[in-house]
Amino acid sequence: MDFPPFCPYCQSRDVVPRATGLKIFGAIGIVVGAAGAFKASLKALQVLQSGSVALPGIALTGIASAVLTAMSASALGCEIGTKAGAQLDRMLLGNRFCRSCKRSFIYL
C-alpha cells in the first residue's frame, strides 16, 4: 500500500521527494552549535587560567574536556538544526515536488 504520491494540482505521477530546507537549516544548526561550543571552550580556558597551580596533566585534562564539550555541542546543534530544518521544510515548502507543473506540496 505504498503508492507514489500524485500531484494535487495536475494529478501527475511525476513527483519527486524534496529536502531543500534540510541542508540549509542543518548548516545553521552547525553554526549555532559551534558558537555554543566556542563559548564553552572559553569558559573552560577561564577556569584553567584562574587556577593558581596548573600542572601539565591537569591542563591537558581541561583542554581535552573543552574539546569534547565543543564537539558534542556542535553535534547537538547540528541535530537540532537538521530537525528544525526538516520541520520547517515540511511546513513552508512541502516535501514533494511535481516535475510536471513545477509546484511543491505536502505529502505525509
Is residue 10 within 8 Å of 100, Cβ to Cβ? yes
- Kindly write out the interface string for residues 1-20 of this chain, putting x where it contacts Zn ion by CB under 5 A and - elsewhere: ------x-xx-x--------
Please state the closest distance from residue 7 (CB atom) to Zn ion, in A: 3
At a CB cut-off of 8 Å and minimum separation 6, what does 51 contact? 58
Q: Does residue 100 interact with Zn ion by CB under 5 A? A: yes
How many residues lie near Zn ion (CB under 5 A)?
Answer: 7
Q: Does residue 101 interact with Zn ion by CB under 5 A? A: yes
Q: How far apart are CA 65 and CA 62, in angstroms?
A: 5
Q: How far apart are CA 81 and CA 86, in angstroms?
A: 9
Q: Which is nearer to Zn ion, 10 or 58 (CB)?
A: 10
Judged by the rule CB under 5 A, the positions of this chain that interact with Zn ion are: 7, 9-10, 12, 98, 100-101
